Structure 1
Amino acid sequence: MGIPEKIKAIQDEILKTQLNKATEHHVGLLKAKIAKLRREQEKVQTKKSGISSDGFDVRRTGDATVVFIGLPSVGKSTLLNKLTGSRSAVAAYQFTTLTVVPGILDYRGARIQVLDLPGIIEGASKGKGLGKRILSVARNADLVLLILDVFQPYHEDVLRTELNNIGIRLDQKPPNIVIEKAAIGGISIAQQVKLTKLSEKLLKEILHVYGITSARVLIREDITAEQLVDHITGDKNYAQSITVLNKIDLVDEKFLKNVKTKIKSEVVPVSADSGINVDLLKEKIYEKLDFIRIYMRPKGGETDFKEPLIIRRDSTIEDVCNKLHRSMKKEFRYGLVWGKSVKFAGQRVSIHHVLEDEDVLTIIKSR
């Protein structure tokens, strides 16, 4: 029996199983087995085709990267043009954009890379059209914009499903769990919180499915079986998202209010054609990316308060070094920091020090 047949057999077994408290352990284990088989299937398909599973070759630039994900003809190209002033092709027929079109949004001192991707279709994560290559670009994004047509709000589920299938977890954080493999001793579990979504027995059985028979497991949050599998496979990406409802100039307030009730997430209604709420969307993008400002002070010099360095919250001095110059990290000796992240002004810190908004930083290089 091949991998597709094994997957189908397990899926059929799940469908036949009545979901209740007594069967959730069995179903959870079956889902873990399917996830493992799909991972193996993906490797086989990639090897047979000889085609890389990587996405379009897009070089990251700016302070953060935002991607547009949507079905064809929802107005992504027009919206890119309004946000960034780029000249992405616009036409009233499907599949106008056949490659990744980049633009830069300059907003409140931040330079944000915005990528207009070709429209996807249902089944994209399974290889329909250029689906896998398109969705793979989103793996490196800091923020995903789900672009919906005001007349087709139900496509939100399609977009989220396709992204989830390719391993992109929207509006989630990586599960707070540590698994340290061991040579002997079986599986020992230490819990800092009580598990309610996953039993210890199922946790151990899922580890066995993935060939882990001896390990020390530290549970720091109440996780599900799916989150455990995500952690074990280690190939998932986590990004924030904004749902954008486009073409609102074509409907009235009553229609728009009704459409909003059908969308599960918070939505930003816009009209790319008319420019309605484009400035609001810029502000929402900036807020979601959660930037902070760092003021640089050269050794023995004055602090530059006019042009702050824009970085993401929870960034370290190492991130600042990488942003300034690729050789800076090698030359780094120590840092001096003034601001909220230190106990006293001019405190000496290491390259791993986490900075906070409006900190002042001096980098001391090796002699």
Structure 2
Amino acid sequence: MSTLQRITEIEEEIAKTQKNKATEYHIGRLKARMSQLKQELLTQTAKKQGGSGIGFDVQKTGHARVGLVGFPSVGKSSILVKLTAARSAVAEYEFTTLTAIPGTIFYKDTKIQLVDLPGIIEGAKDNRGKGRQVIATARTSDLLLIVLDATKSLDMKRKIEHELEGFGMRLNKRIPQIKLVKRERGGISLQANTELKFLNEALVTSILAEYKIFNADINVQQADATVDELIDVIEGNRVYMPALYVVNKIDSITIEELDLLNELPNWVPISCKQGWNMDELLEKIWLKLGMIRIYTRPRGGAPDLQEPVILRKRRGPTTVECFCESIHKDLILKMKSAIVWGRSTKHLGQRVGKQHVLSDEDVVTIMTL
């Protein structure tokens, strides 16, 4: 039996197994086996293609990269042409784009690379239609725009998510607050700062056994941590990425249907053909990337409002320390204090420390020792 057949068999068994307390250990172990088989499938494909670097060769430029992903003929190339100066073939038939085509968005003093990827098809995670190349390049993005066709079933959203999930991508999901430390002896120790809803020591031990891990400390910091999140931490190769669902061709649907789309989180309805809502798309890209502009001001001089330092909110707040590190790694060691003008301060020219949280368009002077 091939690896793909074994994965399908396990998926079917999970689907037909009733979910209750009595079956949670069985389902947990099945999920662990399936995850290992999927990783094995990725390795097999990489070897056939001559290595693990199977994405399209697109040099990353600008302050952030945004990937355009979707099934064929949904309007990805049209979005690229509308938002950048890049040229990409646009046609009414499928598979117009056969390789990755980059362009640059100039917005709020930042340069954002937008990459139009070939349309993926069902089975992309199993390498149908250059699927692995497309998804491997998508994994290098800082944000994904998942493009859907408003005139077709929005069930396509679930299908694309399934393909991306199968390649280790987690869209709009938090990084699990679970720490795993392997040890040489002592068995499995599960620690938590709160009562766990879905995990317990016996279940965790059984899942770890599937990975031949018999001695480890597991520390869980979230009450609702799931089996799937535990498996993700064990595998250790997941990518947690923000995503926007861009619904194109809204000029072809009713007002009632459009109202429903407007109520959904992380959705942006647009019409490339009519040029509708493109400004909102740009603003949501900016917000989702979490970028802020910080302008520098030399001591006793005027602020430089032409070339801001671009910072991105990643796993925590953007502080003065982050600002210093983005300029030079040794600057924070020389810093005595900072003077900040902008929305993050209580008054103009406020003297702050390295943990002060900055806001977009703040002006900063670093006072050194």
1:234 pairs, out of 208, 230, 236, with 236
Q: Give 3-state SS (helix, strand or coil) of 1:55's partner.
A: coil
Describe the shift of the 1:273–1:348 C-alpha distance in structure 2 as closer, same or farther (beyond 3 A). same
- 1:16 and 1:331 mapped to 2: Cα distance? 59
Paired position in structure 1 for 2:164? 163
Paired position in structure 1 for 2:245? 243
Q: Does 1:273 align with 2:283?
A: no
Asked whether the equivalents of residues 74 and 147 of structure 2 are also in contact (C-alpha less than 8 Å), the reply is yes
Describe the shift of the 1:47–1:315 C-alpha distance in structure 2 as closer, same or farther (beyond 3 A). farther
- 2:356 and 2:137 mapped to 1: Cα distance? 28
Q: How far has the Cα of 1:329 moved from its partner?
A: 3.4
Q: Give 3-state SS (helix, strand or coil) of 1:112's partner.
A: strand
Paired position in structure 2 for 1:125? 125
- 1:59 and 1:319 mapped to 2: Cα distance? 25
What's the RMSD between the two structures over aligned residues? 2.9
Q: Does 1:116 align with 2:120?
A: no
Q: TM-score, normalised by structure 2?
A: 0.86
- 1:4 and 1:291 mapped to 2: Cα distance? 40
Describe the shift of the 1:90–1:323 C-alpha distance in structure 2 as closer, same or farther (beyond 3 A). farther
Q: How far has the Cα of 1:231 moved from its partner?
A: 0.9
Asked whether the equivalents of residues 296 and 308 of structure 2 are also in contact (C-alpha less than 8 Å), the reply is yes
- Higher mean alpha-carbon deviation, 273-282 vs 242-251, is at 242-251
- 1:216 and 1:230 mapped to 2: Cα distance? 16
Paired position in structure 1 for 2:14? 14
Paired position in structure 2 for 1:38? 38
Paired position in structure 2 for 1:360? 364
Q: How does 1:291-330 map to 2 (within 5 A)?
A: 291-298=291-298, 301-313=301-313, 314-315=317-318, 328-329=328-329
How many residues end up aligned between the 2 structures? 356
- 1:64 and 1:318 mapped to 2: Cα distance? 21
Paired position in structure 2 for 1:179? 180
AA aligned to 1:160 is: E
Asked whether the equivalents of residues 67 and 114 of structure 2 are also in contact (C-alpha less than 8 Å), the reply is yes
Per-residue Cα deviation, 1:169-206 (whole angstroms, up to 9, x for no partner): 00011101111211111121221122102222111221
- Higher mean alpha-carbon deviation, 267-276 vs 310-319, is at 310-319
Paired position in structure 2 for 1:254? 256
- 1:345 and 1:265 mapped to 2: Cα distance? 37
AA aligned to 2:251 is: D
Q: How far has the Cα of 1:230 moved from its partner?
A: 0.6
AA aligned to 2:161 is: R
- Higher mean alpha-carbon deviation, 330-339 vs 86-95, is at 330-339
Paired position in structure 1 for 2:70? 70
- 1:209 and 1:341 mapped to 2: Cα distance? 52
Unaligned 5+ runs, structure 2? none
Describe the shift of the 1:320–1:131 C-alpha distance in structure 2 as closer, same or farther (beyond 3 A). farther
- 2:253 and 2:367 mapped to 1: Cα distance? 54
Q: TM-score, normalised by structure 1?
A: 0.86
- 1:2 and 1:87 mapped to 2: Cα distance? 42
AA aligned to 2:173 is: Q
Q: How far has the Cα of 1:167 moved from its partner?
A: 0.8
Q: How far has the Cα of 1:255 moved from its partner?
A: 4.5
Paired position in structure 2 for 1:88? 88
Asked whether the equivalents of residues 46 and 54 of structure 2 are also in contact (C-alpha less than 8 Å), the reply is no
Asked whether the equivalents of residues 68 and 76 of structure 2 are also in contact (C-alpha less than 8 Å), the reply is yes
Paired position in structure 2 for 1:138? 138
Q: Give 3-state SS (helix, strand or coil) of 2:329's partner.
A: helix
Paired position in structure 2 for 1:206? 207
AA aligned to 1:58 is: V
Q: How far has the Cα of 1:362 moved from its partner?
A: 3.1
Describe the shift of the 1:338–1:182 C-alpha distance in structure 2 as closer, same or farther (beyond 3 A). farther
Asked whether the equivalents of residues 298 and 363 of structure 1 are also in contact (C-alpha less than 8 Å), the reply is no
Q: Give 3-state SS (helix, strand or coil) of 2:38's partner.
A: helix
Asked whether the equivalents of residues 69 and 146 of structure 2 are also in contact (C-alpha less than 8 Å), the reply is yes
Paired position in structure 2 for 1:224? 226
Q: How far has the Cα of 1:310 moved from its partner?
A: 1.9
- 2:256 and 2:176 mapped to 1: Cα distance? 40
Q: How far has the Cα of 1:166 moved from its partner?
A: 0.7
- 1:46 and 1:363 mapped to 2: Cα distance? 51
Asked whether the equivalents of residues 297 and 363 of structure 2 are also in contact (C-alpha less than 8 Å), the reply is no
- Higher mean alpha-carbon deviation, 83-92 vs 130-139, is at 83-92
- 1:89 and 1:359 mapped to 2: Cα distance? 42
- 2:134 and 2:325 mapped to 1: Cα distance? 27
Q: How far has the Cα of 1:248 moved from its partner?
A: 1.5
